[in-house]
Amino acid sequence: MLVSAKDMLNKAKAGKYAVGQFNINNLEWTKAVLLTAQENNSPVILGVSEGAGKYMGGYKTIVGMVNGLMEELKITVPVALHLDHGSFEGAHKCIEAGFSSVMFDGSHYPIAENIEKTKSLVETCGKLGLSLEAEVGSIGGEEDGVVGAGECADPDECKAIADLGVTMLAAGIGNIHGKYPANWAGLSFDTLAAVSEKTGDMPLVLHGGTGIPEDMIKKAISLGVAKINVNTECQLSFAEATRKYIESGKDLEGKGFDPRKLLAPGFEAIKATVKEKMELFGSVNQA
Ligand code: 13P
């Protein structure tokens, strides 16, 4: 059964480790993440962006797929199904479809509007026992080939949003989605320390987990990060393994075109990436 991310994240914050959020894109991805979590006795969060939601045939399809896989594969570790960077409308659609957790990303609104919309979702999620992630300070990333720098959140604004009663808070600390540019300044640990100080026990979320050096990940966890999102790294390992398989020319003329064979190396590559991250984040054997 899907669970809210609340208990797993409070436990992670207290135990100084982080739970990984791995974004899913299809059945293979989902199965790879679920099996790896089970094999490593780790709690896990399955992230679904609005775009991936559309791609997979809608939120209800995803809820059905995840619940079915969990039952058939006998997954017993805690699993939360979470909307990633949701709009206000998207969050409501996911709640209706049966997600156990949602993110409302109001970071692009003026702070008063972010507070107002987040507050209304705190009430809705609270009544239903679902977890809610809010965001302050936008996370940079590549758009049309231009890599935007990640903003640093205002710690007082973080406190205002945390005090609304959200489950977890994503604060921009110079992190960006996708690959980091060569001239990236690194994470702002001063910002993270100030946000942590103002928000106390609130589990903090680090987006853009791909390509952050291991020492920075460990330092971020020591300063209160309890959830780390990884998307691009799984995509890269999946693409690389698939490319190698195709380039090897492996009996594509014979049975190699069978999607179950074609997608197998990518599936194994995602499993390896997820395991590596769970070990780095310290969530192994914390289920
Ligand atoms: P990456 O794609 O950089 O791993 O970031 C994932 C993320 O933060 C999803 O919200």
Taking the CA atoms of 280, 281, 286 and 287 in sequence, report the sign of the dihedral they define. Answer: negative
Q: Is 108 annotated as a binding residue?
A: no
Instruction: Report residues whose beta carbon is within 6 angstroms of any ligand 1 atom.
Output: 23, 47, 84-85, 177-178, 207-210, 229-233
Selection from 109, 111, 181 nearest residue 140 by Cα: 181
165 Cβ neighbours under 8 A, 6+ residues apart: 122, 126
DSSP 135-163: EES--B-EETTEEPPPPB--HHHHHHHHT
- Which residue has a Cα nearest atom 5 of ligand 1? 208
* Residue 7 DSSP one-character state: H
pLDDT score for 137: 85
Q: How many other CB atoms are there within 10 angstroms of residue 193's CB atom?
A: 15
pLDDT at 83 over 70: yes
**Residue in this structure with the two tokens 């940079």, named with its chain if needed:** 140
**Orientation of helix 264-281 relative to helix 27-39, angle to 10°:** 40
Task: Tell me, in angstroms, the distance from the centre of ligand 1 to residue 103's CA.
Answer: 13
Task: Tell me, in angstroms, the distance from the centre of ligand 1 to residue 221's CA.
Answer: 17
84 catalytic? Reply is yes
Q: What angle do CA 20, 97, 69 make, to 5 degrees?
A: 55
Specify the CATH number for 6-233+270-281; select among 3.40.50.970, 3.90.79.10, 3.40.630.40, 3.20.20.70.
Answer: 3.20.20.70
More confident residue, 170 or 141: 170
> Mean pLDDT over residues 164-177, rounded?
95
Out of 7, 84, 154, 258, pick the active-site residue.
84
Residue 177 CA: which ligand 1 atom is closest? 3
**Residue in this structure with the two tokens 């962006």, named with its chain if needed:** 49
Cα distances (angstroms) measured from residue 62 to each of 35, 67, 69, 153, 202: 17, 8, 10, 32, 29
Task: Tell me, in angstroms, the distance from the centre of ligand 1 to residue 101's CA.
Answer: 17
Q: How many other CB atoms are there within 10 angstroms of residue 222's CB atom?
A: 12
pLDDT score for 112: 94
- Sorted by where each begins, the domain ranges of the chain are 6-233+270-281
Cβ distance 239 to 33 under 8 Å?
Answer: no
Cβ distance 284 to 20 under 8 Å?
Answer: no
pLDDT score for 18: 98
Residue 230 CA: which ligand 1 atom is closest? 4
**Residue in this structure with the two tokens 């780095």, named with its chain if needed:** 280
What phi and psi values does residue 102 have, to the nearest 5 degrees? -140, 150
Q: What is the pLDDT of residues 188-201, one digit of tens each?
A: 999 999 999 999 99
Measured distance between the N- and C-terminal CA atoms of the chain, rounded to whole angstroms:
14
At 5 the three-state DSSP class reads: coil
Q: What is the pLDDT of residues 100-157, one digit of tens each?
A: 999 999 988 999 999 999 999 999 999 999 999 999 987 877 655 666 677 899 999 9
Q: Is 135 annotated as a binding residue?
A: yes
Taking the CA atoms of 117, 1, 231 and 10 in sequence, report the sign of the dihedral they define. Answer: positive
User: d(Cα 244, Cα 221) in Å, to the nearest integer?
Assistant: 35
Residue 141 CA: which ligand 1 atom is closest? 3
- Which residue has a Cα nearest atom 1 of ligand 1? 208
Q: What is the pLDDT of residues 212-258, one digit of tens each?
A: 999 999 999 999 999 999 999 999 999 999 999 989 887 676 676 78
Q: Where are the alpha helices (H) located in the chain, listed in sequence order?
A: 6-15, 27-39, 50-55, 59-72, 88-97, 111-128, 155-162, 189-199, 214-222, 232-247, 259-262, 264-281
Please, what is the average pLDDT of the chain?
A: 94
What phi and psi values does residue 74 have, to the nearest 5 degrees? 55, 55
